[in-house]
A and B are shown apart, each in its own frame.
Chain A
Amino acid sequence: MSHPLKQHLIDPEICIRCHTCENTCPIQAIEHNDDNVVVDASKCNFCMDCIPVCPTGSIDEWRVVEAPYSLEEQYEWDELPEQGDVTLDDAPSDEQSNDEGDADPVAALLAEAHKGAGGKARAPASAAKPTINLYNLSNAVEAVVQGNYRLTAEGADTDVRHIILDFQGKPFPVLEGQSLGIIAPGTNEKGRPHLPRLYSASSPRDGERPGYHNVSLTVKRDEGGLCSNFLCDLKKGDKVDVTGPFGATFLMPSDPAARLLMICTGTGSAPMRAFTMARERTVGAREGGMVMFFGARTPDSLPYFGPLKKMPEKLLHKHLVFSREPDQPKEYVQDRMRAEEELVAEMLQDPNTYIYICGLKAMEQGVEEALNNITESTGESWQALRDTMREDGRYHVETY
C-alpha cells in the first residue's frame, strides 16, 4: 500500500478559469481543458507560487488521498469531492488520529500535547490551511544548518539554542504554530532508527528571513536528552533529517483584527515568536493586538530576551515574568495574569480574542486557575467559556 499523500486541487465551483495559476506555475504542473483547471499530482512540488496569484481563493484546496485524483477525474468535476476517510499508517494530523494515537507516534505526541485544551481542538476559522505530513519517516527531507546560536547567557542555568535550518530549495511549507519532526542519527536498542522528536517552528511561514523559507527552532538542551543534545551540538553546514510539518489546529488566525493572548514559558515561546513575527510582517508599524505573558527563571534564561525587549509595545504588549530573580519574590505567569486581571478579563470577553498556551505541562494548572479566577470575577464560568472558545478555534494548548 502506498503512503497517503496530500493532493493539491482547485475548486471548480469557485475558479473563474483565468489561468493565472497555470501561467505562474514554474514547472507546468497546472493545465486546463474547456471545463476545468487542474493540478497534476505527479508534478506539483508544493512551491505555493500559485496560491497568492489566484484572484478567487479556489486554489488553496487540499485532500489527503490514498491514490491521487487523476487529471481525467478532475476534468469531470462540477464540485470538489469531500475529504474521504483515509486509513493511515501515518495520520495526517492530530485531528484524524484515534484516541490512543498508536497508529502514528507523531499524532500521539500531538494529541498528548494538546490535551490541556480540555477537548478536541479546532483551528481558527481564518487560519491558512496547513500542509501536514509532507515528509515522513520513510521519506524525510534533508535540511542544512545555517546557524546555531545560544539564546541564554553563558552563565545561565539553561542552554537554549536558536537553530536555523535551510531546506535547499525543497518545499517545506510550515505555518506558525506547526511542528517539525527531527530524527536523531543512529538507532535505538532494537536497531531501528529513532522516532522523530517534535519541535515548534519559531519562524514565520515565509521564513526566518522573509522569502527564504528557512525555518528556525528553539531548542533547550536536556541533560541526557538524545535529540536535544544532537540539535544543540549542530554546527553550521551539518545535515539533519526532518519530517513534517505536523499539527493542524495550533495555528494563528489570518484575520489581522484578531487579538492574540499568548502565555508561555521557556521554549514554549517558539510558536509565539513565529506568530509575532508573522504579524509584524503583515501589520508593519500598526497596532498588533498581541499580548504576551512569558515566564522564565531569570532574564538570563529567557529565550529572545534582548530582541523581545525591543519589540514595540504597540505591536506586542509584553509581560516578562521571573521566578528566580534575586531579592524579588517569585513570580509566575499566572501571578502576573491575576495582577493584570482587567486586561485579561477584557480580552476574554472579546469574541475576537485567541488564546495560546505553550510550555511545560507544569504551567497548565496554574494558568487554568488564574483564568478561572478572572472569569469568575466577571460572573462567568471558565469551563463554559473555554469550551466555547475551543469550539470556535480560539483556545489552544500545547504543553509537554
Chain B
Amino acid sequence: MADTLDVSYDTRIPNNVGLGQDRKVLKALEKWHPGYIDWWNKLIPQNFQDSMVYLRTAVSVDPKGWAKFDYVKMPDYRWGVLLAPKVEDRLIPCGEHMGKPAWQEVPGEYRNMLKRLIVIQGDTEPGSVEQQRFLGLTAPSLYDLRNLFQVNVEEGRHLWAMVYLLQKYFGKDGREEADDLLRRSSGSEEAPRMLGAFNEETPDWLSFFMFTYFTDRDGKMQLESLAQSGFDPLSRTCRFMITEEAHHMFVGETGVGRVVQATLDAMNKAGITDPNNIGNVRDLGVIDLPTIQKKLNLHYTLSLDLFGQEVSTNAANAFNAGIKGRYMEHRIDDDHQLGDSVYNVSNIVDGKIVTQEVPALTAVNMRLRDDYVRDAAGGVGRWNKAIKKAGIDFELVVPHEAFHRQIGVFAAIKADPQGNIITEEEWQGSVDDWLPTKDDGAFVQSLMKPCYEPGKYASWIAAPKMGIDNQPGDFEYVQLHMA
C-alpha cells in the first residue's frame, strides 16, 4: 500500500505559485510569516489555540483537492498561497483595454490604483478576525465554534493571498504595505482598520451571523468584481477566495436561520402566537423576532455603506482601466466599455428620493450594490419561509436603501425603513423600534453562555440540519484543550 501524500510542500508556505523557485518573494514572505503567527497567537484566546479543531484545508485548487477535513491546532493551520488555475490566453474583459491579453505584471500606469485596491481588500481580512476574537468564549455549540474558527483561518488565508500579491508585484512599497496590514488593528485609536465597519467589535453571535450574512457578502461582491480584473494574478487569487467565501455565506445564512428556528420552535411549544409579545418570548430563552429584525436592519445598512458613493469617478476609472469589473461581467450582454450607456441611480432632489439616469461608467458601484441587494434578499426569503411554515404571522424585511445610511446620497437625510423621508424628531421618536437598543443588546448578551458539549446547542439556536463534512449530530467538532 503506497505512501499517499496528495500534495508535496516544497517550502514552508504551501503554494501553487512556484514559490520554491522564486527566492526573493519566498524570502519576503518568510520574513513576514513570524509577524503573522505572532498576530494570530496574541489574538485568539490561548485555550483555543491549543484545541484540536476539525477544519477544512485547501491542499490544491482542483475541486477535489481543496476540501480536506481534519483536526488541526489553529496555529499549525496550513495557510498558503493558492491561485485558481490559469486560464490560457485570458483577455482583459472590460474597459478601454478590453480584448488585449490580461496583464501578468502590474501595468505601470495603474500601479497605485491596483495597490490601493489590494491593500483595502487585504485590510478587511484580518480586521474581521480581530472583531470576532472573543466570540469563541460564548459559542453556542462546538459546531458553531468550529465554523467560527473556519471563517477565521480562511480570513487569515485571504490576508496571505493579498500579502503575496503585494510582495510579489509591488517591491519595497508592497512589503511595507504588507507589514502595515499587521500593524493596523480593529478598533485601535492610533492605527484602526481602514473601513469603519471593521472597527466595531462583534458583540454577540447573532451579530456574527448577521455580519457573515450581510457584510461578508459585500466582501464576496468585491471579490467577484476583482476576479474580473485584467491583472491576472489578482483575478486568479480572488477566484479562489470566492470559493472559500461561500462557506462564510453558509455560516451566516444558516446561523440566522437557526436562531429564527429556535425562536419559532420555542414559541410554538409555549403556545405564543404573537411575535410582538417580546417579554414572554424572551422568557423562553430565545431571541424575539422583532429584535432579529432590528439586528438585520443594522447590519444590512452598515454593509450597504461599504459600497461607497453611488456615483463615483474612482470606480469609473478602475473599470475603465480594466482593473475591476462588474459582478458576472462575462455574463453581461453589453459592450463591456460603457461608452454611451446609462444606469439608474437614486438621488435626493428637493427633499424627495428620485431616480436619475447617469452615465453607466460612473455608476459601477451602484450596480454592484444593486446586485448585492438582490443576492442578499434570497436568504431573507428563505428565513421567512420557515416563519410561515411555523404558522407565525411575521415577516423579516430588508429595509429601504435610504434607511440609516452614513455614506452616499442618503447620508444627508433621515428615512424610515420603508424609505419615507422623515424629520430628525420623527427619527429620534422611532429609532428604538428600528435599530437594536442598549436593552436589546444586553438581552442578547445575557443569552451568550458557552455550550461546549458535543451535540448540544444553546437554547436560542437550533441544531443544524446537516453536519459539516457529513458528520453525525454529536460529532466533536472541537476537542477543547482543558488547561
- Given A55-B246, A282-B70, A307-B1, A211 contacting B470 (CB threshold 8 A): no
A56 touches B63 (CB 8 A): no
A87 lies within 8 A of chain B by Cβ: no
Cα(A128)–Cα(B385), bound, Å: 30
Residue of B nearest to A283 (CB): B70
Chain B interface: which size bin?
35 or more
B472 touches A56 (CB 8 A): no
A16 touches B379 (CB 8 A): yes
Residue of B nearest to A308 (CB): B1
A60 cross-chain contacts in B, Cβ below 8 A: 470
A20 touches B243 (CB 8 A): yes
A52 cross-chain contacts in B, Cβ below 8 A: 63-64, 66-67
B242 cross-chain contacts in A, Cβ below 8 A: 20, 23
User: Tally of A-B residue pairs with Cβ under 8 A?
Assistant: 91
Cα(A284)–Cα(B66), bound, Å: 16
B250 touches A56 (CB 8 A): yes
Cα(A50)–Cα(B64), bound, Å: 8
Residue of B nearest to A78 (CB): B385
Interface segment, one of A62-70, A93-101, A109-117, A273-281: A273-281
A349 lies within 8 A of chain B by Cβ: no
A18 touches B249 (CB 8 A): yes
B63 touches A57 (CB 8 A): no
Cα(A226)–Cα(B86), bound, Å: 49
B428 lies within 8 A of chain A by Cβ: no
**Those of B362-387 within 8 Å (CB) of chain A:** 378-379, 385
B471 touches A126 (CB 8 A): yes
A56 touches B1 (CB 8 A): no
Tell me the smallest distance from the CB of B220 to a CB of chain A, in Å.
8
B332 lies within 8 A of chain A by Cβ: no
**Those of B50-109 within 8 Å (CB) of chain A:** 62-68, 70-71
- Given A210-B6, A277-B1, A16 contacting B250 (CB threshold 8 A): yes
Residue of A nearest to B377 (CB): A34
B4 lies within 8 A of chain A by Cβ: yes
B253 lies within 8 A of chain A by Cβ: yes
Residue of A nearest to B479 (CB): A257
B247 touches A254 (CB 8 A): no
A257 cross-chain contacts in B, Cβ below 8 A: 476
A56 touches B254 (CB 8 A): yes
B253 cross-chain contacts in A, Cβ below 8 A: 16
Cα(A16)–Cα(B257), bound, Å: 11
A156 lies within 8 A of chain B by Cβ: no
Cβ contacts A333-368/B at 8 Å (1 or 0 each)? 000000000000000000000000000000000000
B385 cross-chain contacts in A, Cβ below 8 A: 78
Cα(A311)–Cα(B4), bound, Å: 12
Tell me the smallest distance from the CB of A373 to a CB of chain B, in Å.
31
A48 lies within 8 A of chain B by Cβ: yes
B476 cross-chain contacts in A, Cβ below 8 A: 257
- Given A52-B66, A311-B1, A20 contacting B465 (CB threshold 8 A): no
Residue of A nearest to B217 (CB): A18
- Given A78-B385, A273-B1, A281-B4, A255 contacting B64 (CB threshold 8 A): no
B254 touches A16 (CB 8 A): yes
B467 cross-chain contacts in A, Cβ below 8 A: 57
A89 cross-chain contacts in B, Cβ below 8 A: none
A206 lies within 8 A of chain B by Cβ: yes
Residue of B nearest to A24 (CB): B63
Cα(A20)–Cα(B247), bound, Å: 10
A50 touches B63 (CB 8 A): yes
B249 touches A277 (CB 8 A): no
B249 touches A55 (CB 8 A): yes
A126 cross-chain contacts in B, Cβ below 8 A: 470-472
B466 touches A53 (CB 8 A): no
Cα(A311)–Cα(B2), bound, Å: 9
Residue of B nearest to A60 (CB): B470
B379 touches A276 (CB 8 A): no
Residue of A nearest to B378 (CB): A17
Cα(A18)–Cα(B251), bound, Å: 12
- Given A53-B243, A255-B472, A18 contacting B64 (CB threshold 8 A): no
Cα(A282)–Cα(B70), bound, Å: 8
A18 cross-chain contacts in B, Cβ below 8 A: 246, 249-250
Cα(A256)–Cα(B6), bound, Å: 18
A14 touches B465 (CB 8 A): yes
Partner of B470, one of A13, A57, A282, A308: A57
B247 cross-chain contacts in A, Cβ below 8 A: 55
A125 lies within 8 A of chain B by Cβ: yes
A57 touches B64 (CB 8 A): no
A304 lies within 8 A of chain B by Cβ: yes
Residue of A nearest to B248 (CB): A55
A254 touches B250 (CB 8 A): no
Cα(A17)–Cα(B378), bound, Å: 8
**Those of B1-52 within 8 Å (CB) of chain A:** 1-2, 4-6
Cβ contacts B226-266/A at 8 Å (1 or 0 each)? 00000000000000001100110110011000000000000
Cα(A57)–Cα(B470), bound, Å: 7
A376 lies within 8 A of chain B by Cβ: no
Residue of A nearest to B251 (CB): A55
Residue of A nearest to B62 (CB): A211
B200 lies within 8 A of chain A by Cβ: no
Cα(A23)–Cα(B243), bound, Å: 9
B469 lies within 8 A of chain A by Cβ: yes
Cα(A52)–Cα(B60), bound, Å: 12
Cα(A55)–Cα(B469), bound, Å: 9
**Those of A118-144 within 8 Å (CB) of chain B:** 125-126, 128
Cα(A209)–Cα(B4), bound, Å: 8
Cβ contacts A183-209/B at 8 Å (1 or 0 each)? 000000000000000000000001001
Cα(A23)–Cα(B246), bound, Å: 12
**Those of B462-483 within 8 Å (CB) of chain A:** 465-472, 475-476
Tell me the smallest distance from the CB of B253 to a CB of chain A, in Å.
5
A307 cross-chain contacts in B, Cβ below 8 A: 1-2
A50 cross-chain contacts in B, Cβ below 8 A: 63
B469 touches A211 (CB 8 A): no
Partner of A55, one of B4, B65, B71, B250: B250
A14 cross-chain contacts in B, Cβ below 8 A: 465-466
Cα(A255)–Cα(B385), bound, Å: 33
A49 lies within 8 A of chain B by Cβ: yes
B249 cross-chain contacts in A, Cβ below 8 A: 16, 18, 55
B378 cross-chain contacts in A, Cβ below 8 A: 17, 34
B2 cross-chain contacts in A, Cβ below 8 A: 209, 307
Cα(A276)–Cα(B3), bound, Å: 12
Rank and list the top 9 A-B pairs by shortest CB-CB distance, nearest first: A18-B246, A49-B63, A55-B250, A52-B67, A55-B247, A20-B246, A16-B253, A307-B1, A57-B466
Q: List 28 A-B contacts (CB under 8 A).
A: A14-B466, A16-B246, A16-B254, A16-B379, A17-B378, A18-B249, A20-B246, A23-B242, A49-B64, A52-B63, A52-B66, A52-B67, A53-B63, A53-B246, A55-B246, A55-B247, A56-B250, A57-B466, A206-B64, A210-B4, A256-B70, A257-B476, A276-B1, A277-B4, A281-B4, A282-B70, A304-B1, A308-B1
Residues of B within 8 A of A (CB): 1-2, 4-6, 62-68, 70-71, 242-243, 246-247, 249-250, 253-254, 378-379, 385, 465-472, 475-476
